[in-house]
Chains A and B, each alone.
Chain A
Amino acid sequence: MLTSARLVLKHHRFEVGAAAILGLLAAVAALVVSYRLNAIGVPAGCFEQWLTGGGAEGAGDCAGPVQAFAQINEGEAGKLLAFMAVMPFIVGLLAGVSIVGRELESRTAQLGWALTPSRHRWLARQVGPILLVVIVVVALAAAAASVLEATREPWYHSTYGDLSLHGWPVIGRAVAAFSVGLLVGAVVGRSLPALIVAAVACVVLLLFDGMAQDAWYRANYEVIADPTAVNNGTFDGIYGDTRWRTPDGQSIDQEAAFQQVPSGVDDPNQWLLDHGYTAVALGVPASKAGQLAALDTAGLLGVALVVGLATVPVVDRRRPV
């Protein structure tokens, strides 16, 4: 078992090595940036002042540390988290595509399939160690990104905007990309074309993931008790929509409410408030972010499982060329 894993990793060392370096660099960079943010030592009260004062420049005595914090937060931390959006896909695809794709391309599948009469066993032996490396490396990066996320926005429990950029969803993305790469590599049989096709497939997967997240938000909207928190940026959660309650108690959307306002009125919001309408802000509180992260990860792992299993019959029927 260990011999098999060693040889598989040795054979795929360039792809696995590149993926591991990428993941580990992301992890180390996240911890370094997090350390630098912490090292500024912004007093806790300054963050509230920053939020309510309209930005770092209006933070009074806190201006110096808050500006330094904001600079790193919007610069290095922001870029690093943006990298976390693509890192799991790069790692997963690099590792996944080569497993079958490169074997077919370099004609070594003939040898592998001649020596191992059971292709299922052959596939399991190839996938196991490489997937393990991917999960470990991406988990380290995802955990480090969670540390960074908690450091850069200490006033939130969790922000939905960065939900996919740290923690479990990152692992889900990497494993899904790995499976997509594995399947496409087996179908296409050439590394580079398979990498391109698999990358496109991952973009489609991300679009569907975004749609699923939007549907979850809509299904979980709650009335925000203090609507002013949405405007001053202190609402701990994600703002979704503003609806209006009519004087007779009906709930209508913004567009329908504005149609009630006579033409020529300068401030339609004020007109609605003056005429007995009540604005209702809807959003999802931060306390539910964990639920969405878990669902997102489970969904992506489910996709990874289905796609991974679909690779089995493909390898089974594949002609080594």
Chain B
Amino acid sequence: MSEPTPPLRAEGVGRRYRRRGPWALRGVTLEFARGSITALVGPNGAGKSTLIRSWMAFEQPNEGRVLVEGIDPRRDRVGAVSRIGYVPQAAALYRDLSVNDHLGLAHVARPTFDTSYAEERLRSVGVALDRPVGQLSGGEQAQVALALALGTRSPVLLLDEPLASLDPLARREFLAVLVDDVRSTGATALLSSHIVTDVEQACDHLVVLTQGVLAYQAAVSDARATHRTMVVNVDGPPVEGAVGFFLDAEGRRVALVRSTDPTVGRATLEEIVLGYLAAGRDAARESAAA
């Protein structure tokens, strides 16, 4: 029996914007399980948006390829993009059109767009459908962008830093709607953010990108089970299994370690991400120094 086609896949993806410029992404190979919600985490400039935009056919990888349900957007953009519900960075909506106009636009663009489902989602979070989008709060605009993506009833949802400009309550509401939809429809969602605590509650998988390179990928439960943290001295002995070092809130040097030792405290998801980001940063510094 053949392997089921993953909803999203990246195969050795590399992208740079100038011929001899730095790589925004390099050698990224990933795939996502159907029905999962994955947090794509990394600092600004890590390549998160570039990767997501590659699946949307907004970017053309210089190396490798991306696949949406087995379809390469470079070869069949219509086929690939029609399988994606997309929430762009900073809710790019038509400010002078009403929410209803947006739903109408979506229905014209995709005849299969489920207007009543999108309306229901928006009503449930109290967004007035007859108001111009420019008069809505940031949180409401994000809800409109999410409803437009969910209304496509696509098997794949790509959300490019949708939480960045939202207040904590709006973030909660946004994630609640997303999780509810994904659990009920079985869609696969990829949610990028540069702050892991934003998405921790909603995601079951974690991908860490740093300096355009894939630093870590695992189920959240596995990540938590296999990482520990310990406070270390700068001039202390080398730490076995150390991934990276970072400073905690009290200014102490902390090592993220790959370990299942039950006697050592488990790392939080934020610490795991910090450890991998620090490792990526240190590697880049060493490389630059060399």
Contacts and interface: CB of A to CB of B under 8 A. Distances in A.
Given A3-B108, A11-B96, A111-B148, A118 B78 contact: yes
A108 B56 CA distance: 14
A271 interface: no
A38 interface: no
A4 B108 contact: yes
A319 B94 contact: no
Interface in A105-125: 106-119, 122, 125
Interface stretch (B29-37, B84-92, B201-209): B84-92
A111 B108 contact: no
A8 to B, nearest CB: 9
Contacts of B53: 319
Nearest to B158: A114
A17 interface: no
A112 B58 CA distance: 12
A115 B148 contact: yes
B170 interface: no
B148 A7 contact: no
A320 B89 CA distance: 12
A7 B88 contact: no
Given A107-B90, A111-B92, A320-B58, A10 B97 contact: yes
A108 B108 contact: no
Interface residues of A, number: 24
B166 interface: no
B88 A110 contact: yes
A36 B174 CA distance: 65
Contacts of A319: 53, 58-59
Size class of the contact patch on chain B: 20 to 34
Given A107-B90, A107-B92, A115 B106 contact: yes
Contacts of A106: 92, 94-95
Contacts of A107: 88, 90, 92
Contacts of B92: 106-111
Contacts, number: 71
B50 to A, nearest CB: 10
A122 B109 contact: yes
Query: What does DSSP make chain A's interface, helix, strand, loop or mixed?
Result: helix
Interface in A1-49: 3-4, 7, 10-11, 13
Contacts of A122: 109
Contacts of B90: 107
A13 B94 CA distance: 12
Given A110-B58, A115-B148, A117-B82, A7 B109 contact: no
Given A3-B104, A3-B108, A110-B92, A117 B78 contact: yes
B283 interface: no
Interface string A205-218: 00000000000000
A7 B132 CA distance: 13
5 contacts: A106-B92, A107-B88, A113-B81, A114-B84, A319-B58
Interface of B: 53, 56, 58-59, 77-82, 84, 86, 88, 90, 92-97, 101, 104-110, 113, 145, 148, 152
